[in-house]
Structures are given as structure tokens and as C-alpha cells.
Structure 1
């Protein structure tokens, strides 16, 4: 009964309550941005000949895939707050492992557990933002929330520079303090019976589930191709740039991702989700073709173009997340978001492997950029199939 009252109150909050809830949730997300830091530095902390950095990220993504499906689906049954708290507890537990055990197997366990926490946090947090936001500003709220979450990618390299890798692990454990604002946020989902993810692939939900899932797959494929694969071209000297650009590439691209999510915030509730998503994905595809052209002529410009491409694709990522949250009603939103983002995790996992394989097989650095450009176009085409979801009332 208490949950029902909270859901009803959130449907039409007063301005004071609305801003209070937004502030509290953004407080959690701002602290939650640090949640990503250990996941970034852990591969740097362990230098293993057995497990390369790429496969460490693969393990983390595998955990994210599990978290996206397991806990986000559970949030439809037990409510959003318990699921969100569980995601943070999981991540904190994974961050604590390196303090007590530096072994190879502890590393694997840590990556999987932390990945599960991240994978669960994103869909559940976005479901809550959808449910406590008014339809007229929902896209803006969710875009800014995702930008704040991405801020961790910007501050991580800076903190590593000043404090060193070992010190950063403490932030994962400090995630537990973010449980305090969560307890003050009203529940947005009344616990109910759920038949699992099968409902998403039946009847009226089948088409939209397939389309948003594959759109999210291609968006993540491009984003993590730029973030995780392109640096290998720099390190192998296939794209020759000044040392400072190679050294600071991660910081540069992560800042682009942060700005990309902020960029769409004032636009997404005015232009519509679908139109803006098609536009930013198409522009990203064009910049990837330009990157192909300039990668050997003006390498530094190629790096700048990857920044631009990631800027727009991060906007596209925020849009597919918003649309996934709006395509389903309250009883299915957790599963809908979790399923969509799980497909995105698969795209993120496979992108560096596919692009690296294309490069190794054909020995042509241009071909992976063609793959990225086509993937951006595919994302835009799939978004065109979906209905516009802006101003859909909460159910």
C-alpha cells in the first residue's frame, strides 16, 4: 500500500517535491559516477600476461550483461529502490576484492561482480528517472542524469594522475554512502508479478523489442569501437599522432562522451527522440567516413574526428536509452530497459574483437572505419522504424 501511495504521489508531484526528488537522484548519480572509476583503473592495476586489457574489459562487459538482465528484470518484481541498492552493493563488493586478494582469479571475480553492479545500475536508474519525471521534461532529466553518470569517465584519468591507481579503489567502497539518498527517494514501481523477459518477445511488443535492441546494439558497437578499439591503432603506430594525443586519448574521448549526453539534453524534448536520434547517428556516420579519409593524411585531425563521432554517438546512446524506457509501461519498463541495454553490452563486447579481426584479416586500417560508419547508419535506420515516444504519458 505504501508503494502504491508513492507511485501515485510521483505521478503529479508539486514543484517542490519534483525538484527535491530530481536533486536527490542526481546526488546519487553524481556519487555514482565514481562507481565507474575502479572499472577503468583495474585493468591498469593488474599487468597480466595471461589476461590482456581487452579481455579484462570483456569480463566486465560480461558482468554488465548479467546485471542488465538479472537485476533490471527483478526491479519489475521487487521495486526499483531495492534493485538500485543491490546494484550499488554488488559494485562495492567487487571493488573490495582487490584489497584482500591480488590473485589472478580474484581479478576475474572482481571484474564480473563490478560489471554486474554497473550493468544493473544503468537500466534501473533510468527506469526511476523515467517514472518520477514529467513527460514534458523527461528526456532532459534522463539525458542530464546519463551525463552525470558518464562524468566518472572524465574524472578517473585525472584522479589516477594525482593519486595513483591504488588509491582509486577506495571510491568503489565509498559507493555505499550513496545508499543514503536512495532511501529518501520515493519508490516508483509497485512490486508485482512478472513472467520474465518472454513477454518482450511476444505479440505487440515483439517488433519494438527487436528494433530497439538492435539499434542499441549498433550504438554501443560504435561507441566502444571508438573508445576501446581505436587506441590500438595509435599504440601500434598505424595512425601516427603526437605523443600527447596518444597519451590523453582516453581523457579526450571520455570528455566527448560526457558532452554528447549534455548536448542533447535541451533538444530531446523539443525535436523528438526519433528525429534527433536519426540526426546524431547520421552525423556520426559521416564523421567516421571522414576519419577514414584523414587517418593517414592528417592523423591528428582523425583523432579530433573520433571525438566528434563519439560526441554524437553518445547522444544517440542517451536517446535509445530514453526510448527504451518509454516504449514499455511501468510493469515492463525494467525488463525492457534491461533487455535493450543487454544487447548494447553485447555490441560493446564484440566491437573491439570484430574491428580488430577485420584489421588483422585484411591488413587495411580503413576497413574498420567503414564498419563503424555502416553501424551508425544501421542505428539511424532502425530508429526510423520506431514510433516517436516523446510526450508518452507514464503508465
Structure 2
């Protein structure tokens, strides 16, 4: 045996945590680095803001659709192969965004970038391949805590790149980082799944098993509504910052970091306490923290006391709540049928991201010219309250089945 062979030739070696962090982080960065540029991109392509805002909703919609098949494909062909091909396609799509001369062409390639969603889906599935339920929630918490550093600084970097070099600089950075992550995945990420020799249709036929589970639906809807208020925020906050508060793109990018700071803190708490507290209670705690922050923001907005500091500052509760609850909600989805971890991660992710796409599109429709931030705040609050209802249904079902709550 050649002991000097490169590590990547051992296809069964589990990856380092940093590989999963950077893989999922690239997917998160792709979602939000260019947000401060949206108003300027609308002017560049000569289209209304609402058209460019659809780059968020369309990206999320295709991401949701892809996640329906990414999970089964990875269960069939393995995590490693799917991730490598996804990264190659992502790089091609990113080149397309840089060469786009019209808004339509840009939006097409922007949608194609959604293939990088496999990084988020399969990083969770890889964790579940390696460790058990409660430990998976803890490890996902630590992975996403590290991952949250990327979107925390992403809009800040995006805002400064936009001001210094134009919006194209954001996508040039994604291209460079994508090449680096592809090299890392090739060298470090061995196959963690027990490949199931079933056809894609056979894999998809397992969906009814998951969709018939009230626990799976509870975890998925709780995650969908919890993250949905954040996706609505992604879709509407650039408009609020630019049109309502008159902020520059670097200022909007910097204020976006407040939510990510809360998310990083919540992920730390998830990694620290998920095993001790239990998945369901962590999901409930996260949903309640988010709802509290949005209730306070709603009250201050209705009282006429809102402003950029209040609006952006109080979203730290949304980040904190999502950071606490989402790792356990994701682990809960995967725990319903551990043998279908990839399928469950993809289907649950599709429900979560699909809901986010709908809410992001809804935010764009609510924020018509002359609108204040209030419609966006109310939409976010309604989504968070729905997340509380969903997790309470999970807890009730768990008690009926005699499972730990």
C-alpha cells in the first residue's frame, strides 16, 4: 500500500469540519453578498427594483426545486460526486452572471447558481452520516456557527466592492471562492454515505414515507416559517435601507451583519446545549426568541419610533432565534428516517427554501414605491408566529408517541 498517496484518493475518509463550513458558507455567501448592490443593479440594467429583487425569489425557488432531487441523487450516487458536479455547474453559472448584458440574462444565470444549494443540503447529510441524532444537532450547530461568519461579513464586503468596483466584483469574488472550495472538496471530502443502489424514481418513491410523517412535516414547517421571516428580510431589507432610510450600499451591508451576529451566537448556544436540552425544546426556544424580537419591532414601528438602528438592530433577535432553533429542526427532519438522510435533507430543504422563496417574493410585492417598512415587518412576524405553532404540534405528536420532547 502506498502510504504517501494523497488523502483525496481515500474516498471513504470523512471530511474535516472546516470543509463542511466552507462548503455551506459558499452557498450562504452566494445568497446574500450582492444584496446591497440590488438598487444599483436595477439602475445598471435599466429595470425597476422589483425586477432585480426577483433575483432573490427566483434563486430560492430553483434552489427549493433542486433540493427535491439533490437528496435522492446523493443517496444513490454519493455525497462526494454530487458536490463536485454541483460546484462545477456553479462556476459556469457564475461566469454567466458576469457576462450578462441584460437583466433577463442575468436572472437566468442567477437562477442557475442555485445548484450550490447542494452545499447546504449535503453538508447536513454528511454530518448525519457521521453521528447520531442529538449529537448531529450539536455538530450542525457548530458547523453553521462557523458558516454564519461568511454571510455576516458577506454583505459588508459586497457593499464596499459595489461602491469601489461595481456589482460585478461580487460575482467575481464568488468565482474565485468557488474554485477554491471545489479544490478543497476534491482533496478532503471522502464518501460518507452508504450508497443505495436504487434508481432515482425508486428514491423518489420513498417521499410518501416522509410526507406521511406528522413529525417530519412539523420540523419542516417550523424550519420553513422560522427561516421564512429571514428570507422575507433578505428580499425587502435592501429596499427599506435604500428607499425608506436613504442608506448607502456599504451602510446596508454593514447593518446586515447584525442579523448574522445573532445567528452566530444562536448557533453557539445550539452547539452547547442541544444534547442537554433536546431537539424539540431548542426549536421552540428559537422560535419564541425570534417572535419576541419581531413583536418588539412591530410595536416600535406602529408607534412611529422605528429607524435604521431599530429596524436593523432588532433583527439580531431573528438571527439569534434561527441560530438556536434551525440546527435542531434540521436534525429533527433527518431523525424521522435516518436511512433516508439525504432524501430527508433535500425534501425538508425544499419545503424550507420554497417557503422562503414565496415570502421573499411576497416582500417584493408588498414594498411598492412609497411603501414604509411596516408591511415587511408584519410579514416577518406572521411567519415567525407560524413557526411557533408548527413546533408545538411536533411536541404534542412526540408526547403521543412517547418520544422525548
TM-score if structure 2 supplies the norm length?
0.78
CA contact (8 A) 1:63 1:111 kept: no
Structure 1 distance, partners of 2:368, 2:168, is: 35
Which has the higher mean CA deviation after the structures are superposed, 298-307 or 108-117?
Answer: 298-307
CA deviation profile, 1:368-393 (whole Å, cap 9, x unmatched): 5344333222212222333669xx9x
Which has the higher mean CA deviation after the structures are superposed, 349-358 or 56-65?
Answer: 349-358
Structure 2 distance, partners of 1:199, 1:349, is: 25
Which has the higher mean CA deviation after the structures are superposed, 251-260 or 365-374?
Answer: 365-374
Structure 2 distance, partners of 1:319, 1:85, is: 27
CA contact (8 A) 1:292 1:366 kept: yes
Which has the higher mean CA deviation after the structures are superposed, 190-199 or 137-146?
Answer: 190-199
Structure 2 distance, partners of 1:64, 1:339, is: 11
Structure 1 distance, partners of 2:157, 2:71, is: 31
* CA-CA distance at 1:302 after TM superposition: 3.9
101, 109, 120: which one aligns with 2:118: 120
Structure 2 distance, partners of 1:76, 1:304, is: 41
Q: Secondary structure at the match of 1:211?
A: helix
Structure 1 distance, partners of 2:390, 2:334, is: 17
CA deviation profile, 1:149-194 (whole Å, cap 9, x unmatched): 3332123234342674444414424423334443443322122215
* CA-CA distance at 1:335 after TM superposition: 1.4
C-alpha distance 210-360 of structure 1, shift in aligned 2 (>3 A): same
Structure 1 distance, partners of 2:342, 2:77, is: 11
Q: In the alignment, what sits opposite 2:190?
A: 186
Matches within 5 A, 1:1-395: 21=14, 24-30=16-22, 33-41=25-33, 44=37, 46=41, 47-50=44-47, 52-117=51-116, 119-135=117-133, 137-160=135-158, 161=160, 164=165, 165-168=167-170, 169-183=172-186, 184-192=188-196, 193=198, 195-202=202-209, 205-237=212-244, 246=252, 248-295=254-301, 296-299=304-307, 300-330=309-339, 332-355=340-363, 357=365, 366=374, 368-386=376-394
Structure 1 distance, partners of 2:62, 2:380, is: 25
CA contact (8 A) 1:147 1:259 kept: yes
CA deviation profile, 1:52-91 (whole Å, cap 9, x unmatched): 3311112211231232122222111111111222222222
RMSD between superposed Cα atoms in Å: 3.5
* CA-CA distance at 1:307 after TM superposition: 1.9
C-alpha distance 278-37 of structure 1, shift in aligned 2 (>3 A): closer
Structure 2 distance, partners of 1:123, 1:357, is: 29
C-alpha distance 31-159 of structure 1, shift in aligned 2 (>3 A): farther
Which has the higher mean CA deviation after the structures are superposed, 87-96 or 98-107?
Answer: 98-107
Q: How many residues align?
A: 369
* CA-CA distance at 1:196 after TM superposition: 3.3
CA deviation profile, 1:320-368 (whole Å, cap 9, x unmatched): 22221222222x211111111111112211213334555669x785455
Structure 2 distance, partners of 1:384, 1:260, is: 20
Structure 2 distance, partners of 1:132, 1:166, is: 39
C-alpha distance 351-29 of structure 1, shift in aligned 2 (>3 A): same
Unaligned segments of structure 1, at least 5 residues: 1-8, 11-16
Structure 2 distance, partners of 1:170, 1:370, is: 35
Q: Secondary structure at the match of 1:187?
A: coil
Which has the higher mean CA deviation after the structures are superposed, 82-91 or 341-350?
Answer: 82-91
Unaligned segments of structure 2, at least 5 residues: 1-10
CA deviation profile, 1:9-42 (whole Å, cap 9, x unmatched): 99xxxxxx8xxx46x2423422652454455355
Structure 2 distance, partners of 1:85, 1:182, is: 7
Structure 2 distance, partners of 1:360, 1:103, is: 23
TM-score if structure 1 supplies the norm length?
0.80
CA contact (8 A) 1:199 1:205 kept: no
Q: In the alignment, what sits opposite 2:5?
A: none
* CA-CA distance at 1:228 after TM superposition: 2.6
CA contact (8 A) 1:96 1:173 kept: no
C-alpha distance 202-141 of structure 1, shift in aligned 2 (>3 A): closer
Structure 2 distance, partners of 1:86, 1:54, is: 28
C-alpha distance 81-242 of structure 1, shift in aligned 2 (>3 A): closer
